[in-house]
């Protein structure tokens, strides 16, 4: 599979919380580093997402906002 997005982060599914329509997917990139994605429940089921599954988190964004105190 080839994609245009430049930000591909390898990780493992840590947790999947299914709602009525959407699923919250917690991905552990490395020990103590996690990202969370909200995707449709249908997509989560079609991808077979479950704890421990190795996945790629693909980030495609035209804007990244950085803040500092």
Q: What is the SS3 assignment for 43?
A: helix
What Cα–Cα distance (Å) separates residue 63 from each residue in 57, 59, 60? 17, 11, 9
The Cα–Cα gap between 40 and 61 comes to 19
pLDDT tens profile 34-47: 999 999 999 999 99
Report the percent of the chain where pLDDT is more than 90. Answer: 74
Choices 2.40.50.100, 2.60.40.2470, 3.40.1310.30, 3.10.580.10: CATH for 7-59: 2.40.50.100
Give 2's pLDDT tier (boundaries 50, 70, 90): confident
Whole-prediction pTM value?
Answer: 0.84
Sequence ranges of the domains in the chain: 7-59
């Amino acid at each position: 599979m080839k994609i245009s997005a430049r930000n591909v982060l390898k990780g493992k599914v840590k947790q999947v919380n299914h709602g009525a329509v959407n699923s919250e997917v917690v991905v552990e990139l490395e020990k103590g580093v996690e990202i969370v994605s909200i995707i449709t429940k249908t997509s989560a089921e079609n991808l077979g997402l479950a704890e421990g599954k190795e996945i790629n988190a693909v980030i495609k964004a035209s804007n990244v906002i950085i803040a500092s105190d």
